[in-house]
Structures are given as C-alpha cells and as structure tokens.
A = this chain, B = another copy of it.
Amino acid sequence: MILSTGEEVDLLIRDCAILTLDHAHFITQGAIAVKDKKIIYVGRKDSLPRVKAERAIDAHGKVAMPGMVNCHTHVAMTLFRGLAEDKPLDAWLRKDIWPLEAKLTWEDVYWGALLGCVEMLKTGTTCFADMYFYEDAVARAVEDSGLRAVLAQGIIELKTPALGKETFKQSIDFVQNFHGAAEGRIRTWFGPHAVYSCSLELLREVRRAASEKNVGIHIHLAESSEQAEKLYKKYGVSETCLLEKIGVLGSDVLAAHCIFLSKKDMQLLRKHNVKVGYNPVANAKLGTAVSPIKELMDLGVHVGIGTDGPASNNSLDMFWNMRFAALAQKLRYKDATVMNTRKVVEMATLGGARTLGLENMIGSIEVGKRADIILVDFNKPHLKPFHDVHANLVYSTCGSDVDIVIIDGRILIEKGEVKVLDEAKVMSEAEKRAFRLISK
C-alpha cells in the first residue's frame, strides 16, 4: 500500500515517537495513518504525504507502540482480586478459588470480565488470551469493550468423565459459535485445563478436534511441582513428555507457565514449536518459582507474557508484568545481562502475538497490520530524562501513563478515559456481584 497525496484516511497520529517493533524499530519524529482498521502509513512525519484525515491526533511528547498482548489470563477472576492472599497454589485453588467458582453465573463472569477489559484497555493491553467457564460471557465482554481476544472455554475432567465430556462439548459449541465474532476480533481455541485435570483420552480428543477445526490449544503446563511429581510417579515421564507421547504438542499449542521443565522437556517444546506463556507474577505470588525463559528463548522458543487471572497477580497492567518478567529472569540466573529491555518489550507485544498465531495481524506497527496502537505519555516526572525508550517502558512506565488506546483503528481510550463503556457502572456491577458471591 502506498499512501497518495490527498487520500482520505480514517485516523492520523501526528508527531509521535514510534517504537515500531519491526526493522525500523524506533522513529523519533513519526506519523501513523490508519484506514479501514489497518495501518497504511508509518514513518517519519516529514515524509507523510498531505492527506485528509477524518480524525487527527497531535501526539507530541508521546510514544506510539503496538498494544500489549496478555497471553494468559482468566479475566473474570477480577471478582476474586484480593480474596485469598499469601497462599500456595494448590491450597489456593482447592480451598478458595474452586468453591467460589462453583457459584459463578453467566452474569458474574460477564461483569467480572468487563471489569478486567476496562483495566486492560486503560493500561494499554489490546489483545488477550483467556480460558474460563462461561467463555461466551467473556466473548460478550470482549465485544462490548472493543478488545481483541483469543478465547477458550475451559475443559476440565477431575476424574469425572461426564464433566470432561460436558465441558468438551461446550468447547466445541463455543468454537462453532464464536470463532470470528466481534467483527473478527475474537478467535476461539480449545482450553483443556492441564494434564493433571484431564484424562489422556480427553486430551487426545481435544487434539483431534483442534486440528480438524484449525484452532489452537491453550493449556497449563508444568505449573505445580506437586502435580508434576504425581504424574511422573504414575506415568514415568514428565508432563511435557506425556503430552508429546499422546500427540498433543504442536505449533498451535500455547503452554502457560512451563516452570518445571527438564532440558529434554525444553527441547521437546522447541522441536514442536510450542508457544510458551510466561506468568512471572502469579508464579512468584503463589510461591512457586521462575520459569527458565532465558533457556527457552536461547533455544528459539517463542514466549509471551501473561498476567494469569487477577486473583493471583492481582493486576492486569502489562507494564508492571513486563517489568517483573525481566527482573525475575535476572534473579533466576543471577545475571543482570539476561532479558534486556528490548527483548522484554518485544515479548510483551510481538512475542505475545506470535504465541497466539497473530503475528501477521498485530504485534508491531507496520503497514498492512491492524491498527492496534497505544500512545504512552512520556511527559511525566518518572519518565524523565528520556535517555532510553526501552528502559523507560520496562522499568519506569506504569499502565496509567497510557493516554490513547486504539484497536482496529477505533479509539477506545483517550486521555486515559474509557470512551466506549460506562466505567462507573462496570465497577459497581462487578463489585456488587463479587460481594454477593462471597456472602452466598
């Protein structure tokens, strides 16, 4: 696409610095033009032809970058934010979270998800990967909020074959009904919970269905050392080996966590081009450990950053999660040179897009890609002096510095305010429902 003089465009962003995440990488005085949801110009502002813009934004002092991609969450768990603190993973799940989740209704999930969508939008996330119950309610929240998402109805068996069958059936319906929904902003995947909570037969069936329908598989992998040990005792191999053995691994698989991996497991993930969702905050908060992300990336595995659900984080702000993602690696390897700022910005944007198979659509500011762009206001005391754009984004920016959020060319956040939803209503509805759940 070449932009011609006099052409009409939908949106023009003038006079911003641009972190493109493609080979151009950083443009100090740039401009971006958007038409029909897509980027049709990105470059120096003085090379931009004179065009007619339906809407123009003067972005002086701001840095444009691709929207953040949160590649693992259970967004409706905003409802439980702060409810079960300072507890280890297994106790947290079994004693606190699962009993609460058993009481959830469609409306609870909708309002919880919508609250999370508002938080994500305001902090610069434009795409997320979710796995939960009532995922159609999450889909509705995605539609209403203008976000982009890869959604999976959770499949779980817990030694109850009927439950496995039922949730698998719901998943198939979900994929059939919602793939391509919200004007194409929703993709649907399968979401088998984990190796320890689904039978091998069920996992095989999920694999067949995913291949047949050409959608991906989002699964928790090697998150708990307890579960990993139990499985090892039962099968004599690691969780990762087991998944390979039954044919589940593939380039369409997004494995969240991947903490307890042997060298062989890492090689298997690489061999099958499995994508990894790194959730450092939740892993630390539940007292687990730091994933060997440096080693995975050295092997060439694609990694994105996830927040995990807001009940074990408790923040969907990807800036803060990106910062922790870098620091946790430096701590794990006791090496300050590990996970440099440029790498971690890429992981939170283009890397995340790759984990979802969306790298041709989003993840960088390039002509032809969807206009999923955020503008970060760098005119703040904590972002001065402006020595290094990557360092500022990783170590000094917080979600509240996000001024404008654009998805598919549509401005959803402006001056930090939500344009498309009644924020006060979302907060009060979600809070009411959360309070009702705990008093039930």
Contact B327 A281 (CB under 8 A): yes
Contact A337 B391 (CB under 8 A): no
Contact A86 B337 (CB under 8 A): yes
Q: How far is the CB of A280 from chain B (nearest CB, A)?
A: 9
A423 in complex: contacting residue of B381, B400, B426, CB < 8 Å:
B381
Q: A391 — which chain B residues lie within 8 A by C-beta?
A: 81-82, 85, 314
A317 in complex: contacting residue of B92, B339, B386, B398, CB < 8 Å:
B398
Max count, chain B CB within 10 A of own CB: residue among A79, A85, A88, A323: A85
**Which of chain A's residues 398-440 have a Cβ closer than 8 Å to chain B?**
398-401, 423, 426-427, 430-431, 434-435, 438
Assembly CA distance A82 to B387 (angstroms): 6
Stretch at the interface among A13-21, A164-172, A177-185, A283-291: A283-291
Assembly CA distance A83 to B388 (angstroms): 7
Contact A387 B83 (CB under 8 A): yes
0/1 string, A73-95, CB within 8 A of B gives 1: 00000111111011111001000
0/1 string, A338-370, CB within 8 A of B gives 1: 111100000000000000000000000000000
Q: How far is the CB of A341 from chain B (nearest CB, A)?
A: 5
In this complex, what residue of B is CB-closest to A339? Answer: B86
0/1 string, A128-155, CB within 8 A of B gives 1: 0000000000000000000000000000
Residue A328 lies at the interface, judged by CB distance under 8 Å to chain B = yes
Q: How far is the CB of A402 from chain B (nearest CB, A)?
A: 11
Copies of this chain, complex-wide, total 2
Residue A119 lies at the interface, judged by CB distance under 8 Å to chain B = yes
Assembly CA distance A281 to B338 (angstroms): 15
Q: A290 — which chain B residues lie within 8 A by C-beta?
A: 331
Residue A320 lies at the interface, judged by CB distance under 8 Å to chain B = yes
Given A118-B381, A384-B115, A434-B387, answer yes or no on A341-B86 (Cβ-Cβ < 8 Å): yes
Residue A257 lies at the interface, judged by CB distance under 8 Å to chain B = no
Residue A230 lies at the interface, judged by CB distance under 8 Å to chain B = no
A336 in complex: contacting residue of B89, B320, B333, B431, CB < 8 Å:
B89
Q: A119 — which chain B residues lie within 8 A by C-beta?
A: 381-382
Given A384-B427, A385-B79, answer yes or no on A314-B89 (Cβ-Cβ < 8 Å): no
Given A122-B381, A285-B327, A327-B324, answer yes or no on A85-B427 (Cβ-Cβ < 8 Å): no
Max count, chain B CB within 10 A of own CB: residue among A324, A382, A390: A382
Other than the given A381-B423, A387-B438, 6 more pairs (CB < 8 A) read A82-B386, A82-B391, A86-B339, A324-B327, A380-B427, A385-B431
Residues of A within 8 A of B (CB): 78-83, 85-89, 92, 115, 118-119, 122-123, 281, 284-290, 313-317, 320, 323-324, 327-328, 330-331, 333-341, 379-382, 384-388, 390-392, 395-396, 398-401, 423, 426-427, 430-431, 434-435, 438
| A-B pairs with beta carbons under 8 Å apart, 16 shown | A82-B386, A82-B391, A83-B387, A85-B390, A85-B391, A86-B341, A92-B336, A281-B327, A287-B338, A289-B334, A290-B331, A324-B327, A381-B423, A384-B430, A385-B434, A387-B438
